Amino acid sequence: MNPMLNLWLIPILPLAGAAINGFLGKKSSRAAVTIVALFFSGAALAWALWVAMRFSSLALPYHEYLVHWIRSGNFSVDFAFYLDQLSLVMLLVVTGVGFLIHIYSVGYIWEDPSYYRFFSYLNLFMFFMLTLVLASNYLMMFIGWEGVGLASYLLIGFWFTKDSAASAGKKAFIVNRIGDFGFLIALFLLIKHFGSLNFDQVFQSITPLGAETAGAGLLTTIGILLMVGAAGKSAQIPLYVWLPDAMEGPTPVSALIHAATMVTAGVYMVSRSHVIFERAPIALTVVAIIGTLTAFFAATIGIAQTDIKKVLAYSTISQLGYMFMACGVGAFSAGIFHLMTHAFFKGLLFLAAGSVIHAVGGEQDMRKMGGLRSYIPWTFLTMGIATLAISGIPPLAGFWSKDEILWKAYQVSWLYWLIGLITAFITSFYMFRLLFMTFFGDYRGARVDEHGHGSHGHDEHGHGEPHESPMVMLAPLMILALLSLVGGLVGIGNGFEHFLAPVFGTSEVAEAAGRGTELLLMGVSVVVALLGWLLAYWLYCVRPELPQKIGDSLDGLYEAVVHKYYIDELYAAIFVRPLINGSTRILWQGVDRKIIDAAVNDAGDGARHVSDEVRHMQSGNIRSYAGWIAAGSAVVIAFMIWMGVR
């Protein structure tokens, strides 16, 4: 029997923080708001660590029932929590990285007048994300799913007075909703065919079923629909378009939500549903293909971007593609491993980018940066570590996880491996391009005077020169850098995979090719990463005039890449504009004005006209009154006689 761990505290503590800051924060001092926000998110982290310490003594999976929710016939869903190795990993990542980003935000958002609102939203996001991760049934997961979408909308549109920020928030939420539609249909199918949404019951019902190799069946449909939901939340093709726009939000938001936690919810959901996917090979293939294509596609866009945050956004999409590729080849634990390491180095990259932006007074265009490594050495050091990690240079974290994915992919098909390898090359290239453009060469930016100018000038204290960030922002950077350095070592000797084995089963993919091939492939990927580094070095440090010439010569293709292959314009033409037109012309002017308004107005007009006619009865002439009475009584008499005669 398990001791009561009170898991419910972990989501509820940030919720309390959100409520306190949300309702009382406006009148409180910044210090009070900070203490509340940090206390509650820190308390959640502390509790999560305490749970982790007791983890080995638990009988897994651990269930905690809070209160019953829906009871309808045979279908019942409760507010209940669930803990196993997978949710423990997610829990620690979310609370740990989340808390670090809370600390960082204290420094980043200090100047903003809506300081309290930011932390209220941030805590609210933690609540929903933790609900998602700790849920023991799909419906609670869906609550968390929707809730993080809401928090994302609120935080992307944090500076809502800016049109672009408000639109970006809307875009994120709407595109998410499209994915959620698929998720919901999958839930309905689960309810219909398995009568429950609880993980235990559903997976127990599904386990005895055989794999659907013959063709698409129920499990394939559910799998593909779940993938639609994941594609929306985790920004895969075709629903990735919201993530680059989401960079309108403050940088800590980008770090927490769009790098480390929310976008990984899709990967978590797919991994949690591995029982379904393992029995639906077609759905798995779809997942793998989407992941691989997205990884490659986003990486190519990242080459040509000039906004530092946009590069990181496309990099996130690309890395998420890797995770889905891993899930798609059945290597779920590899996907989760990459999720964890990605949280470290991508979170670090975003926070460091925020530090850079803070240093140059709000400028985000890399063409106006350069040579910053002498001004902001600590930021440079941590960002450099993160860049090494994401490029897959050993022995940093990214190498272990990315290599694990490539190895497992190779065992299923060399094509996945090849595309993944090329993408790794491109990744290394554009990350080092970012590093060189930002920190090396000469400083191309404007002197920061009284007010920092730049397209995103939120940071407005001028000090004349780029300056290092305060310690409250640097400390999380250093901790995350440390994690990026050593975080991957848990993967040595398949340690991580063994840890997650009780969830996913051991050796999901047969070790077909053996140890030697694995080492060979490892070597190849390291070489490829180094090649990307070299190419970036040559193009941006040695011969900085070359990129422009290459871009000019590739003209049309280059333009397409810079404009993200015009996908946003395509969506606007196919989906957005017809919808808006249809809504305006048909629904608003046609249905709302002509039918509904007309019905109501005509009802009123009709009543008025009828009474206009009827009022003539009241003529004031008693003879006409008597006439009406006589006629009426004749009718009544006739009726009574008729009734009597019958």
Partner 1 sequence: MSFHLILFLAFGAVCVGGAVNLLAQRHPINSALSLIAVMAALAGEYLLLGAEFVAAVQVIVYAGAVMVLFVFVIMLLNAGEEEETKGSHVAFLLGVPGVLTGSVLTAWVMVRHSGTEAVAIGALPGHPTDIAQLLFHDFLLPFEVTSVLILIAIMGAVVLASKPEATARKVD
Partner 2 sequence: MVPLSYYLVLSGFLFACGVIGFLIKRNIITIFMSIELMLNGVNLSFVAFAAHWHALAGQVFVFFVMVVAAAEAAVGLAIIIAVYRTRETLNVDQVNLLKL
Binding site for partner 1 (CB under 8 A): 619, 621, 623-624, 626-635, 637-638, 641, 644
**Any bridge partners for residue 71, and if so which?**
76
Write down the least CB distance from residue 631 to partner 1, Å.
4
Rg of the chain, C-alpha, whole Å: 30
Q: Which of 108, 105, 145 is nearest to 125 (CA)?
A: 145
Residues 6+ apart with CB under 8 A from 286: 223, 224, 227, 328
Between the CA of residue 325 and those of 10, 43, 508, 513, what are the distances in Å?
Answer: 31, 35, 14, 19
Q: Which of 183, 284, 300 is nearest to 232 (CA)?
A: 183
Nearest residue (CB) to partner 1, 603 versus 629: 629
637 contact choice in partner 1, partner 2, none (CB below 5 to 8 Å, kind-dependent): partner 1
State the SS3 of 543-575. Answer: CCCHHHHHHHHCHHHHHHHHCHHHHHHHHHHHH
Write down the least CB distance from residue 169 to partner 2, Å.
58
Site string for partner 2, 557-596 (x = CB under 8 A): ----------------------------------------
**C-beta of residue 233 within 8 angstroms of C-beta of residue 320:** no
Nearest residue (CB) to partner 2, 591 versus 637: 637
DSSP structure class, residue 305? -
Write down the least CB distance from residue 639 to partner 1, Å.
10
Nearest residue (CB) to partner 1, 510 versus 622: 622
Nearest residue (CB) to partner 1, 59 versus 617: 617
600 contact choice in partner 1, partner 2, none (CB below 5 to 8 Å, kind-dependent): none
Q: What is the dihedral of CA 312, 317, 320, 321, to 10 degrees?
A: -130
CA distance 118 to 139: 28
Nearest residue (CB) to partner 2, 49 versus 630: 630
**Alpha-helical regions (H) of 109-137:** 115-134
Write down the least CB distance from residue 632 to partner 1, Å.
8
Residue carrying structure tokens 């065992």: 411
Instruction: Tell me the one-letter amino acid at 261.
Output: T
618 contact choice in partner 2, partner 1, none (CB below 5 to 8 Å, kind-dependent): partner 2
Token pair listed for 30: 């910044």
Nearest residue (CB) to partner 1, 580 versus 640: 640
Between the CA of residue 466 and those of 3, 72, 447, 449, 458, what are the distances in Å?
Answer: 53, 62, 8, 10, 15
Nearest residue (CB) to partner 1, 1 versus 643: 643
Q: How many residues form the binding site for partner 2 (CB under 8 A)?
A: 11
CA distance 66 to 78: 8
215 contact choice in partner 2, partner 1, none (CB below 5 to 8 Å, kind-dependent): none
Write down the least CB distance from residue 643 to partner 1, Å.
12
646 contact choice in partner 1, partner 2, none (CB below 5 to 8 Å, kind-dependent): none
Write down the least CB distance from residue 613 to partner 1, Å.
14
Site string for partner 2, 604-633 (x = CB under 8 A): -----------xx-xxxxxx--xx--x---
**C-beta of residue 436 within 8 angstroms of C-beta of residue 537:** yes
Write down the least CB distance from residue 581 to partner 2, Å.
50
Q: Is 374 in the site for partner 2 (CB under 8 A)?
A: no
Instruction: Tell me the one-letter amino acid at 98.
Output: G
Footprint on this chain of partner 2 (rule: CB under 8 A): 615-616, 618-623, 626-627, 630
